[in-house]
């Protein structure tokens, strides 16, 4: 019988549970949603909820506490205080939701997706940097033709033109 046992152990020792919790919280803040097992999603949900409540408070003490809980990651701490706190400004609880997914094929583990209950958008807008790949144009019978893109480590085949 399960009496006077608080929390979830997840078949790990204390240090491993703390490391797992910290990494799942960081992944959720960074990506917005994560796919994991149902028990891990329920395990990390309470930590994320507490962190959102901390980030809604303004002040140096709250920032330092969130900074330490996120593994001294300044980028994620700033994201919590700007984007996430603004999205849940008028909400007291229920910041995350768990959506059940089909069982994993390999070991039949219950899978779930944990995500924000509201849309968390960036303040500055999403600016993505696209890698520019240079292409060489070759002349084939008087026409400019661009060859197919190749990965950086492979050599491209040169086309011989008939004269």
Per run of 10 residues, the mean pLDDT along the chain (length 163 residues) is 78 94 96 96 96 94 96 95 94 96 96 96 53 53 61 60 63
For the chain, how many structural domains are there in total?
Answer: 1
Assigned domain for 46 exists:
yes
- Looking at residue 82, what DSSP letter applies? I
Region for residue 120 given its phi and psi (left: phi exceeds 0; alpha: psi -120 to 50; beta: otherwise) = beta
Cα separation, 42 vs 61, whole angstroms: 27
Q: What pLDDT score does 162 carry?
A: 66
Task: Give the predicted TM-score (pTM) of the model.
Answer: 0.71
Cα separation, 26 vs 45, whole angstroms: 12
Assigned domain for 153 exists:
no
Place of tokens 């990506």: 31
Strand partners, 143: 140
Give start and end residues of each alpha helix (H) in the chain.
14-31, 38-56, 60-69, 74-79, 85-87
Assigned domain for 137 exists:
no
Cα separation, 139 vs 142, whole angstroms: 6
Q: Are 27 and 34 in contact (CB under 8 A)?
A: yes
Q: What pLDDT score does 104 carry?
A: 96
Assigned domain for 141 exists:
no
Assigned domain for 102 exists:
yes
Give the range of the structural domain holding residue 53, as residue numbers without chain letter. Answer: 14-116
Whichever domain contains 68, its CATH number is 3.90.1030.10
Q: What pLDDT score does 137 carry?
A: 53
């Amino acid at each position: 019988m399960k009496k006077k046992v608080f929390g979830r152990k997840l078949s790990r020792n204390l240090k491993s549970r703390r490391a797992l919790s910290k990494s799942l919280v960081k992944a959720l803040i960074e990506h917005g949603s994560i796919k994991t097992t149902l028990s891990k999603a329920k395990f990390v949900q309470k930590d994320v909820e507490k962190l959102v409540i901390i980030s809604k408070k303004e002040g140096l003490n709250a920032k330092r506490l969130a900074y330490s809980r996120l593994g001294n990651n300044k980028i994620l701490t700033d994201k919590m205080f700007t984007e996430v706190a603004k999205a849940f400004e008028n909400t007291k609880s229920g910041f995350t939701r768990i959506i059940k997914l089909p069982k994993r094929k390999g070991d039949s583990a219950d899978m779930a997706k944990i995500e924000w209950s509201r849309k968390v958008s960036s303040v500055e807008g999403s600016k993505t940097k696209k890698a520019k790949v240079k292409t060489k144009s070759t002349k084939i019978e008087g026409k400019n033709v661009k060859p197919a893109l190749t990965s950086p480590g492979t050599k491209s085949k040169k086309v011989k033109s008939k004269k």
